[in-house]
Copies of this chain bind each other. A is one copy, B any other.
Amino acid sequence: MDTAPPDRSPTLDDVAERAGVSRSVASRAINNVGNVSAPKRVAVQRAVRELGYVPNPSARALATNRVGAVVLAVATDEPGIFADAFFAQVIYGISVALEPTDFTLTLVLAGRPEGRAKLQQIVRSRRADGIMLMNLHGDDPLTRLAEQTTVPVVFGGRPLRGEPRWYVDTDNRGGARLATEHLIEAGHRRIATITGPLSLDVAESRHRGFRDAMAVAELPATRVEHADFSEAGGAAAMTRLLRAHPDLDAVFAASDNMAAGALRVLRAHGRAVPGDVGVVGFDDLPTAQHTDPQLTTVHQPVRALGAEMTRMLLSILDGARPTPLILPTRLVARGSTRTPVPG
């Protein structure tokens, strides 16, 4: 009889014919659903191997209404934000978590209007089975996406307003408290902070953690400047802080990048770190080890964040209804703070 033409990739029918079974049986054998006798199953497996058969995802998607893809949407406009190591780490975590499955990762930068439109399109046309959404600002219209759509959405980091049904976040508040307590224990009293944009929950939470710790120690949390999580922004904020509060003896910056900027300005002003001023960052990006002195900072498990978001989304697709997850942070003491004084 005729054998499959070599210029066409084999279809399920080819496999079935070669294995001497019907297409249905072949399908069931391949998808490991029940009702296939052992010998036929083996025959199908052999045929698959011999033919080098790979199922056609489009056909499968059309038939099952599941496409085998999840999307990571990052709602950031500025290339600067996306370009830092943070998202690369998240992506790495997602990617590894996806490996054992046969889901595929679609990446959408949903900062600019074009990107957002694209995300809408992807969702509405069901090009993805689920969504991971990150970096939403407080009033982002994308939050509504989660309600409008039928595909499940997992948030990376809480949006500022409204608790989404599913999210994974790091313990920003606790981490910031840790950082501030570390400074207090090292004997600092006039502690300033540089926050991120307060329209972001991350920034808001870290600021709250700072105030928590200060309140407990009965210290004033009034030395505050706001910035945008960037190095340049951190530098500018530090400059303002020095002008407004020349007496400050420590700074908690809500990101490593801002801390790096602060470090630069402090040096330019002749303030020794950690001698005159202690500095703590947040994130523990690679940057933190490249500054001088190396940065004491709060480590957040970024890869795990990606991995856990993925796991959560997959479990939802699998019918589970998980609860939100908060990942722990920990302090990494390096050169930009003094060792805490005992007692």
Contacts and interface: CB of A to CB of B under 8 A. Distances in A.
Interface string A61-74: 11000010100000
A199 interface: no
A46 interface: no
Contacts of A79: 89, 92, 303
A99 B292 CA distance: 40
A96 interface: yes
Nearest to A63: B58
A260 B109 CA distance: 30
Interface stretch (A123-131, A204-212, A220-228): A123-131
Chain A, interface size category, equals: 35 or more
A231 interface: yes
A121 interface: yes
Contacts of A83: 85, 88-89, 92, 286
Interface string A1-19: 0000000010000000000
A59 B108 CA distance: 22
Contacts of A54: 121, 124-125
Contacts of A105: 106-108
Name which of A87, A88, A91 has the most chain B CB atoms within 10 A of its CB: A88
Given A99-B112, A290-B264, A292-B267, A127 B57 contact: yes
B121 A95 contact: no
A287 to B, nearest CB: 6
Interface of A: 9, 52, 54-59, 61-62, 67, 69, 79-80, 82-85, 87-89, 91-92, 95-96, 99-100, 102, 104-109, 112, 114-115, 118, 121-122, 124-127, 231, 257, 260, 264, 267, 286-287, 289-292, 303
